[in-house]
Structure formats: structure tokens, C-alpha cells
Amino acid sequence: MHTIKELSNLINDRIQAININKEPKELYDPIIYTLEGGGKRLRPVSMLLACDTYGGKVEDAVNPAMGIEIFHNFTLLHDDIMDQAPLRRGRETVYKKWDNNVAILSGDTMFAVAYDYIRQTRNELVPEIMKIFCQTSIEVCEGQQYDMNFETTENTTIPEYLNMIRLKTAVALAASMEIGASIAGADRVEKETIYKFGEHLGMAFQLQDDLLDTFGDQEKFGKKIGGDILANKKTYIYLKALELANNEQKDVLRNLYMSKSSDPEEKISKVKAIFRELNIPAQAENIINDYFSKAMECFNKLNVEPDKKMGLKEFAYMILRRDM
Amino acid sequence: MHTIKELSNLINDRIQAININKEPKELYDPIIYTLEGGGKRLRPVSMLLACDTYGGKVEDAVNPAMGIEIFHNFTLLHDDIMDQAPLRRGRETVYKKWDNNVAILSGDTMFAVAYDYIRQTRNELVPEIMKIFCQTSIEVCEGQQYDMNFETTENTTIPEYLNMIRLKTAVALAASMEIGASIAGADRVEKETIYKFGEHLGMAFQLQDDLLDTFGDQEKFGKKIGGDILANKKTYIYLKALELANNEQKDVLRNLYMSKSSDPEEKISKVKAIFRELNIPAQAENIINDYFSKAMECFNKLNVEPDKKMGLKEFAYMILRRDM
């Protein structure tokens, strides 16, 4: 069995050693730049962990794990064009540093490179892994489209929002774990259960990320607090606040979320004040706990000796920033 | 054995019946619109033909053939954003009809859908087909990058241009044929030979397309003559003209290719006059004939009974608009 730290180091080493310093440079330089940008490597680590949990050879899962990480970075690269985001992980985004065309085409190439890594495992595993990955990459695109739609639609509902984050974030974690288990030869029921474990965990993770974006500790969270409020993002906490607000609070919230001109710090503190009045942090904790509990129910069903699945449990607690 | 017409109808029927009328509509409508736009279906037909030539079941190759066609249409969709092309096959391009973001994301989804079709064949074939397709899709992106680079670089050479069209156009035809042969169980030498056949044929096809863009008959060619000249495209015929031109002709050509203000018809006729003075149509015919001869050398090496490979020969003559 390997520790999370070991698996994380393994992925980082392999990504650093990746050989795409090729011609034409205009195409490959932005890819190298993107992969150097770091990131938590949650998806590849979860794939390796799942493989290790079921007694598979971690080496068989390393290329698909790199594939899922390259895919994730491709989606960020294209999302940054669509969202016109100037910064990613503290550095200029590709479309800002180069231009739109470079970002589109180097992104497309990354997507192809991702598939090229995903397929590099034992031959007999390729058809199943490809099926899971194709389905997942289509769903992630659907999630991004819903996310963009929500920017311009008036009445996004909480179930619609939850479905969006399921597609945009949770299914990739779920698929990573399923692919890892599949490489280790786990049976159908196990693969379905670990997929659901990853999906619920991914939901809890994204909802927690939304909560921390507004109510986190800037130093621990690692990015500026209030970003979602300034971007008028209709996250769970905003939608839940609208649901619970009286008419007056609704008007204030809606007006704040339509204005672009007001002082940013003032806007953040006004919105947070209403969220607090409505007890939104506790509401968000409730739904995060619900998903986390569902994830742990799936975890408990996994038919693996308890000591062999401790890595997965540790991973779940780690990404949810909880003590075990 | 099936005729080209039958195989072409089969692909068109399957593409019409494709079921991607799904949610979110903003994502899938542009995909349906793009696939409805028609096209010559050269790549999927060549895949089915290659499979049929080696006695494979055409049905095993239909999904991968649709995959290669969907991939081709994805590249056109993203190329149209990068080239800011307003029209494609007589209709508004996706980025014009919708917007940039829709075109980026529905293109990404098409790429994923393409992979999802490519993988849908007999399990034992998937690893090899995926390997060929991943390699090819990366090369097509490289070709598009070189094409964009040439717009702003001064001294593109003929070998560089030929390598660009090899990557951007020829390898996809080559890979289609190799995949078709692979599905039919052809051996390594046969697969390598049919790949080269497709590659040389693809080169001849693109060079002929360049020639017809300037010297073709508008009605037969199906698009407006002189488009490449107006877009200042540094195609083979332009580069060959520069190579053969005296200093005075060079200056005139370079000035015409830098100007955007002059009358379009006048520009086309001035450029064509110089091309004719330099005997460029015959020069282009020479290189087209060279590639076509190389293709037919490979064709002759294919270890298949003569009557079984007539379909491939017919296809080669058809796309080169020659009488057999």
C-alpha cells in the first residue's frame, strides 16, 4: 500500500518528466506552462488510490492518471477563455499570456494528449476505460455549458445547480476512482459503489469550496475570499439564501448581484451579512455533511479489508479538510 | 464488396440518425447544425472502403468511421473561430451564428463524441485504433498551428508547407485507411502500405484543392475562385511562384499579398497573370502527379486480389477528379 503523499509525488514527478517539448513551440509551450502551474492532483491521486485499494499495480494506472490530470487542465484552459479569467493559480492564464487562438488550439491538443495517456495501459483494460472516460469528458462539457447558462438565466433552481456541479466537478472524481478500481480488476458492484463514493465526495468538495470562497480563512483557502460574490456567481449559498430570504432581503441580494459598480469590499460584506442573517453557513454545512455521509455509506459498502481502504478514507477527510 | 456510393450513403444515413438531440440545447444544437452541413465524407468512406478491401465487416467500421467524420467537423468548427471565417459550406459558421464560447465548447464536446464513436467497435480492436487516432488527432492540431504560424512568418519554405498540409490534411486520410484495414485484420506491412497510400493521396488532394482554388472552374469546384489569393494564403502555388519569379515579379506578388485595399477581382487577375507567366499551373500539376504516382505505387503493392481493390482505385481517381 502507498500513502497519499507517495502517490501525489509519483504523479508530480511524472508530470514534470513529461516529454512534450516538441515542435511547433507555439502549440506545446502553453501546454508545458499549464502543466507546470501545479494544482492539487486530486483526480490522478484518487485513481491511483482506488487501484491500490483493490490490490492493482499502481504502475498500470499511472498513464491513465496522468491522462485525467491533463484532461482536467485542458478544461481549465478552455474555461478561462470562456470566463475571460485573467489569472489561474496566481499566474496569467494562457489566453492572456498568448492569445485566444493559441489557447483554443493548445487546449485541443491537450485534450488529444489526455486521451493518448488514458489509453496507455494494459490492452485488455482499454475498451472499458475509454468508455468511462468518453462518457465523463462529455458530461464535464455539459456541466460547463450549464454553468455558462446560469450566468444569464434568472431562475436557476438548487437542483439545477447541484446537477451542474455534479457534471462539472463530481463525475471526474467518480470516474477516476472507477477507472482505478477497474485497472485493479474490481467487479461491477465494487466499481459502481466506488463511483458513487467519488461522486458524493466530489459534490461535498465543490459545495465546501463554494462555502470557503465566501466564509473561508484567506490564508488557509489560498485564494481571495469573496471571489464568487464579486463574479455574481449563483452558487448553492446564494440560491439557498434567495430561497430563505424575505422580500426585502431578496431585493437587496438581487440588486447587489446585478450591480458591478459598487465598492468590492462593501459588496462582499453586505452580501455576507445577509447570508449570516439567514444562517447560510450552517445550511451549507448541512448539505456538505449530507453528501459526505452518503460518500461514507458507499465507502463502508466497499468490499475491501478495512486496513486496505484507509487510504481512501484519509483522502476523503483530507479534501474535506476534516480530522479523521 | 460495396460501391463508394453505397458506403457514402451508409455514412450519411448514420449521421442523420445520430441521437445527440440532448440537453443542454446550447451545447448540442451547434453540433447537430454542423453535422447537417454536409461535406464529402471522404475520411469515413475511405475507412469503410479499406475495411471492405481487406474482407472486413463494414459494420465493425461504421462507428469509428462516424468518429473520424465527427472529428473532422470538430476541427473545422474550431478552425473557423481561429480564422474568423463567416461561412462554411454556404452557411454561417457556428461562432458567427452563436458566439465564440458556444463554438469553443460545442467543439470540445464534438471532439469527445468523436472519441466515443471511435472506440465503439470490437473490444480487441480498440487499443490499436485508439493509438492511431490519438496520434493523428495530435498531428492535425500541429498542422493547424503551422498553418496559423505561416500567416505571420515571412519565409515559409515549400518543404515546410508540404509538411503542414501532410499534418493538417493527409494524415487523417491515411489514418482512416489504416484503421479500416486494421478492423479487417490486415497485417502490419499492409497497414503501413495503405497508410502511405492514403498519405500520398491526401497530399495530391490538398495540392489539387489549392490549384483549383485559383485556376478551377467555379461551377465544378463549388466555391468562389481566388479565395486563397484574397486571404493572402501562402499555398504551394504562391511559394513556387516566389521561387521562380524574377525580382520584379517577386515585388509585385509580395505587394499584392500584403495589400488589403485593392479591388478583389483586380487582385485575383493580377496574381493569376503572374502565376501563368511562371507556368505555375503546370508546376502544380507536376507535384500533384508525383504524389498521385507515389500513391499508386503503394496501391500496387497492396497484397489484395486486383478486383477487390478496385474500390480504392476508384476512390483515388474520384477525389483527384481524374478519369480511370
pLDDT of residue B136: 98
Residue B54 has pLDDT above 90, yes or no: yes
CB contact under 8 A, B149 and A24: yes
pLDDT 10s digits, B284-310: 999 999 999 999 999 999 999 999 999
CA distance B106 to B28: 7
Greater confidence (B9 vs A223) lies with B9
CB contact under 8 A, A112 and B141: yes
Q: What percent of chain A has pLDDT over 70?
A: 99
Read off the pTM.
Answer: 0.96
Q: How many residues does chain B have?
A: 324
Q: Read off the pLDDT band of A24 (50, 70, 90).
A: very high
pLDDT 10s digits, B90-136: 899 999 999 999 999 999 999 999 999 999 999 999 999 999 999 99
For domain A4-319, give its CATH number from 3.30.499.10, 3.30.1370.110, 1.10.600.10, 3.40.50.300. Answer: 1.10.600.10
pLDDT 10s digits, A94-106: 999 999 999 999 9
Greater confidence (A13 vs B154) lies with A13
CA distance A225 to B299: 65
CA distances from A28 to A97, A106, A200, B301 (A): 14, 7, 35, 37
Inform me whether the C-beta atom of residue B152 falls under 8 Å from chain A C-beta atoms: no
CB contact under 8 A, B127 and A123: yes
Instruction: Write out the three cell numbers for A205.
Output: 468538495
pLDDT 10s digits, A174-187: 999 999 999 999 99
Distance from CA of B323 to the nearest CA of A (A): 39
CA distance A139 to A210: 21
* Chain A residue with Cα closest to B22: A142
Q: Read off the pLDDT band of A284 (50, 70, 90).
A: very high
Chain B neighbors of A82, CB-CB under 8 A: 101, 104-105
Chain A neighbors of B123, CB-CB under 8 A: 127
pLDDT of residue B261: 66
CB contact under 8 A, A115 and B130: yes
CB contact under 8 A, A26 and B109: no
CB contact under 8 A, A24 and B145: yes
Chain A interface disruption, residue of B25, B94, B98, B105, most A CBs within 10 A? B105
Instruction: List the single residue in B81, B137, B148 with the smallest CB-CB distance to A112.
Output: B137
Inform me whether the C-beta atom of residue B160 falls under 8 Å from chain A C-beta atoms: no
CB contact under 8 A, B145 and A82: no
Distance from CA of A151 to the nearest CA of B (A): 13
CB contact under 8 A, A130 and B135: no
CB contact under 8 A, A109 and B149: no
CA distances from A138 to A166, A167, B108, B180 (A): 13, 9, 9, 26
For residue A218, how far is the Cα from the chain centroid? 20
CB contact under 8 A, A115 and B127: no
Inform me whether the C-beta atom of residue B279 falls under 8 Å from chain A C-beta atoms: no
A 105-144 near B (Cβ less than 8 A):
105, 107-109, 111-113, 115-116, 119, 123, 126-127, 130-131, 134-135, 137-138, 141-142, 144
Tell me if A21 sits within 8 A of A32, measured CB to CB: yes
Residues B107, B172, A113: CA angle, nearest 5 degrees: 55
User: How many beta-carbon pairs below 8 A join chains A and B?
Assistant: 107
CB contact under 8 A, B27 and A141: yes
Greater confidence (B121 vs B151) lies with B121
pLDDT of residue A225: 87
CA distance B324 to B318: 8
Distance from CA of B41 to the nearest CA of A (A): 22
For chain B, percent helix, then strand, then coil, each to nearest 5? Answer: 75, 0, 20
Burial of A181 (0-12, 13-18, 19+ CB in 10 A): buried
What is the arithmetic mean of pLDDT over B267-292?
A: 96
Instruction: List the single residue in A111, A130, A149 with the smallest CB-CB distance to B111.
Output: A111
Residues B63, B64, B70: CA angle, nearest 5 degrees: 90
Chain B interface disruption, residue of A18, A20, A27, A121, most B CBs within 10 A? A27
Nearest partner of B91 among B66, B73, B116, judged by Cα: B73
Chain A interface disruption, residue of B109, B113, B123, most A CBs within 10 A? B109
Instruction: Write out the three cell numbers for A89.
Output: 493559480
Residue A25 neighbours by CB distance under 10 Å? 12
pLDDT of residue B321: 84
What is the arithmetic mean of pLDDT over A31-44?
A: 93
Q: Do strands B91-92 and B87-88 pair parallel, antiparallel, or not at all (unpaired)?
A: antiparallel
Residue A25 has pLDDT above 90, yes or no: yes
pLDDT of residue B102: 95
**What are the sequence ranges of the domains in chain A?**
4-319
CB contact under 8 A, B134 and A149: no
Query: Cell numbers 503501413 correspond to what residue?
Result: B192
pLDDT 10s digits, B63-99: 999 999 999 999 999 999 999 988 888 899 999 999 9
Q: For all residues of chain B together, what is the average pLDDT?
A: 94
Q: Provide the H-helix boundaries in chain A.
A: 4-16, 25-36, 42-53, 58-83, 94-97, 100-118, 126-152, 158-165, 171-183, 188-215, 218-221, 227-230, 236-244, 247-258, 264-277, 280-301, 310-319
CB contact under 8 A, B27 and A142: yes
Residue A223 has pLDDT above 80, yes or no: no
pLDDT of residue A220: 75
CB contact under 8 A, A130 and B126: yes
pLDDT 10s digits, A66-86: 999 999 999 999 999 999 988
Tell me if B144 sits within 8 A of A97, measured CB to CB: no
Residue A321 neighbours by CB distance under 10 Å? 12
pLDDT of residue B115: 98
* Chain A residue with Cα closest to B160: A24
pLDDT 10s digits, A142-174: 999 999 999 888 889 999 999 999 999 999 999
